[in-house]
């Protein structure tokens, strides 16, 4: 997906992926990771998700990465937070307390940037990307995150021929393969979420499964 695609989505406020509440899977499964409060959490492709605030409220330091400056600015404005802004390499870093949002391309992130991250949270990041970029994304996480890092990954799966992404369909097999090298992958929950999901029903989908994984880097 080209950067312009996402910048245009934000400019047009076409952000159907944004949830008006904290993700219930995050609240249900995050405690299982038993992370110390001060742990720093990497949130790739973070948008202006309320999950960022929830993670900070658990005592975590949060490092969100987001391409669209509009999303980053909206996040701090909507949270009523005044952010300090500074440049760091290819990124513009917005910071308020424990919340840091790095505005720039996730693929420009280096190992030194995330050396003290012991956790990862991916909701609608992997599934936002087409296959070739998903491969790069998983390889990038594997390359830059330190051993012992663990987190949650939330995916959607459906018949890709029935709808164009994003969100893209990511099967269980794909997750297992993409993270086979370097990660332990454990499925925590799989739910059929098609019923009542009018947006996807309208597209003619016949199935829609949401899966939550626990990832642990070896
Ligand atoms: C489907 S949205 C999900 C946002 C957020 N995770 C959520 O749950 O609301 C994907 C986001 O990734 C951002 N994005 C796409 N490609 C990116 C990249 N290469 N680097 C950083 N952000 C990117 C988009 O601007 C968009 O806000």
Q: Where are the domains of the chain?
A: 1-10+35-122
Of all protein residues, whose CA lies closest to atom 12 belonging to ligand 1?
45
Q: Which atom, in ligand 1's list, is nearest to the CA of 107?
A: 19
Q: Which two tokens stand for residue 32?
A: 């299982």
Give me the pLDDT at residue 196, please.
81
For 133, the token pair is 């970029």
Q: How far apart are the first and last CA of the chain?
A: 30
Query: Which residue has its alpha carbon closest to ligand 1 atom 26?
Result: 47
pLDDT at 1: 62
Sheet holding 209-217, edge to edge: 84-88, 91-96, 99-103, 61-66, 40-44, 117-123, 150-157, 209-217, 183-192
- Residue whose CB lies within 8 A of the most ligand 1 atoms, among 1, 6, 135, for a mutation test: 6
Q: What is the pLDDT of residue 6?
A: 97
Mutate to test the pocket of ligand 1, among 66, 73, 138 (most ligand atoms within 8 A of CB): 66
Residue 198 CA to ligand 1 center (angstroms) comes to 23
- Ligand 1 centroid to residue 128 C-alpha, Å: 7
Ligand 1 test: best mutation among 125, 127, 129, 156, most atoms within 8 Å of CB? 125
pLDDT of residue 37: 86
pLDDT tens digits along 169-181: 999 999 999 999 9
pLDDT for res 9? 97
User: For the chain, what is the mean pLDDT?
Assistant: 97
- Residues contacting ligand 1 via CB (< 6 Å): 6, 17-18, 45-47, 49, 65-68, 71, 105-107, 123-125, 128, 166
Q: Whose CA is nearest to atom 11 of ligand 1?
A: 45
Per CATH, the number for 1-10+35-122 is 3.40.50.150
Mark the ranges of the chain whose per-residue pLDDT is less than 70: 1
Q: For residue 6, give the ligand 1 atom closest to its CA.
A: 25
DSSP string, 98-135: TEEEEES-GGG--GGGGTTEEEEEEESSGGGS-HHHHH
């Amino acid at each position: 997906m080209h950067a312009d695609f996402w910048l245009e989505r934000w400019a047009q406020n076409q952000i159907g992926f944004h949830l008006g509440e904290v993700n219930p899977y995050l609240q249900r499964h995050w405690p299982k990771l038993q992370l110390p409060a001060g742990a720093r959490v990497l949130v790739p492709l973070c948008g202006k998700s309320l999950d960022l605030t929830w993670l900070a409220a658990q005592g975590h330091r949060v490092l969100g990465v987001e391409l669209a400056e509009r999303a980053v600015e909206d996040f701090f404005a909507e949270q009523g937070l005044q952010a300090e802004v500074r440049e760091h390499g290819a990124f513009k870093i917005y910071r308020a307390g424990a919340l840091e949002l790095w505005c720039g391309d996730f693929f420009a992130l280096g190992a030194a940037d995330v050396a003290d991250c012991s956790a990862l949270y991916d909701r609608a990041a992997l599934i936002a990307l087409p296959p070739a970029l998903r491969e790069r994304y998983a390889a990038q996480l594997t390359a830059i995150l330190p051993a012992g890092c663990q987190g949650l990954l939330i995916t959607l799966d459906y018949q890709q021929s029935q709808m164009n992404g994003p969100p893209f369909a990511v099967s269980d097999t794909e997750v297992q393969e993409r993270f086979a090298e370097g990660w332990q992958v454990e499925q925590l929950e799989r739910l059929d979420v098609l019923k009542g999901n009018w947006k996807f029903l309208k597209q003619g989908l016949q199935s829609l499964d949401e899966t939550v994984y626990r990832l642990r880097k070896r």
